């Protein structure tokens, strides 16, 4: 079992590092959830959890990734998946976007805004 202090990051610390260009937010929520509200930060990648496995090779391995979901539960599953695939520069945003919002950190709320989600609809 891993120590919590090594895999989780508090929202305020993540925000500080994101502003300094020290990491990228990896939002693993669904496109609909992201369209509802998203973290307003300089760099982010949106890949829904159900598409993450197929997109691992496209993630920047040299950069620190902050995994974000609604509450942090799905982020832990994503963390385990990414670590099993050899990624090491990963932290989970503690409490997810709800904790981020509770800390009054920047959020964009919109019905039409999406951060280039890597979702594709097959017809």
Give me the mean pLDDT over the 44-52 stretch.
Answer: 95
Question: What pLDDT does residue 97 have?
Answer: 92
- Name 63's Cβ contacts closer than 8 Å, sequence gap at least 6: 23, 24, 89
Q: Any idea what the Cα angle at residue 11 is, between residues 10 and 14, rounded to 5°?
A: 90
**Tokens 């670590």 belong to residue:** 83
pTM for the model stands at 0.82
Residue 113 has pLDDT above 80, yes or no: no
Give me the mean pLDDT over the 40-63 stretch.
Answer: 92
Give me the mean pLDDT over the 13-35 stretch.
Answer: 93
Give me the mean pLDDT over the 78-90 stretch.
Answer: 94
Give me the mean pLDDT over the 43-67 stretch.
Answer: 94
Question: What pLDDT does residue 109 have?
Answer: 80
DSSP string, 11-51: HHHHHHHHHTT--EEEE-S-HHHHHHEEE--SSEEE--HHH
Which position has the higher pLDDT, 40 or 82?
82
Please provide the average confidence, as pLDDT, over all residues in the chain.
85
The domains of the chain, with CATH numbers, are 4-109 (3.40.250.10)
Q: H helices then E strands: how many in the chain?
A: 6, 7
Question: What pLDDT does residue 72 have?
Answer: 83
């Amino acid at each position: 079992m891993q120590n919590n202090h090594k895999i989780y990051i508090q929202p305020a610390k993540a925000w500080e590092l994101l502003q300094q260009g020290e990491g990228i937010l990896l939002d693993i929520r669904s496109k609909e959830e992201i369209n509802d509200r998203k973290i307003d930060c300089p760099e982010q990648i949106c890949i829904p959890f159900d598409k993450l496995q197929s997109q691992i090779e496209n993630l920047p391995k040299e950069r620190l990734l902050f995994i974000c979901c609604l509450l942090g539960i799905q982020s832990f599953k994503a963390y385990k998946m990414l670590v099993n695939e050899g990624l090491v520069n990963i932290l989970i945003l503690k409490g997810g976007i709800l904790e981020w919002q509770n800390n009054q950190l920047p959020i964009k709320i919109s019905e039409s805004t999406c951060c280039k989600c890597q979702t594709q609809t097959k017809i």
